[in-house]
Amino acid sequence: MRRLIIRTAKISGVALVCMIAFLAYLKVSGNFHAITPGQAYRAAQMGPEKLVEWTAEHGIASVLNLRGENEGTDWYDAEVATADKLGITHINFRMSASQELTGPEAQQLIQIMRDAPKPMLIHCQAGADRTGLAAALYVAGIEGGSELSAEWQLSPRYGHIGIPWISAAWPMDETWERIEPWLGYPRS
């Protein structure tokens, strides 16, 4: 029995180290990923250098900031100034990972993403939770993708950990489950 406990502790330790290393990688990489190549990308909060780099590499035409307007903060002012310098449309849509979106808010977000110049870059602070829900809405509401491909945007692959009553970002999963039927998916 003691051997089993020691082996389980070792395996758990290795798994924890791997998870921490993966989350560190997401942080260092900017959590940048294509939602739909050439149309929509997702990322964590980036500095001006990354916005310039990603614009050069992917032709970014608009930035959708899910943290909302934060005039007077260094990150926000730098992002707006860089977008302006690059001729990129900058759009603010404030949402919180710890609060569900209402149906009208989700519809407004889909409309903003539909109307935004493409390719567009969607970001929040970590690029995992709010950005995950927005990316799922993009896949479902704009691209007409499958339920599975939309739900995949809210996954640990991007740093999203949605665990009921434990994760502060669980409202993103709750929002998705609630609005799936009006996106044409069966209630799960």
Per the document, the length of the chain is 188
Q: How far apart are CA 139 and CA 36, in angstroms?
A: 8
- The DSSP result for 24-56, as a single string, is HHHHHHTT-EEEETTTEEEES---HHHHHHHHH
| Helix axis angle, 103-115 to 170-179, nearest 10° | 90
* Sign of the torsion formed by the C-alpha atoms of 126, 130, 136 and 137: negative
Is 129 within 8 Å of 31 (Cβ atoms)? no
**Mean pLDDT within 54-66:** 98
Q: How confident is the model at residue 4 (pLDDT cuts 50, 70, 90)?
A: low
26-47 pLDDT, tens digit per residue, is: 565 678 999 999 999 999 999 9
Looking at residue 185, its pLDDT comes to 82
In tens, the pLDDT along 94-151 reads 999 999 999 999 999 999 999 999 999 999 999 999 999 999 999 999 999 999 999 9
Question: Does domain 31-183 correspond to CATH entry 3.90.190.10?
Answer: yes
Q: What distance in Å separates the CA atoms of residue 69 and residue 115, rounded to the nearest whole number? A: 19
Cβ(136)–Cβ(153) under 8 Å? yes
Q: Across the chain, where does the E strand assignment appear? A: 33-36, 40-43, 62-65, 89-92, 120-123
Domain ranges for the chain, please list them. 1-30, 31-183
The confidence score (pLDDT) of residue 1 equals: 74
Contact 188, 177 (CB under 8 A): yes
pLDDT of residue 134: 98
160 to 6, 23, 26, 155: CA distances (angstroms): 30, 10, 11, 5
Is the whole-model pTM more than 0.95?
no
> CB–CB of 179/103 below 8 Å?
yes
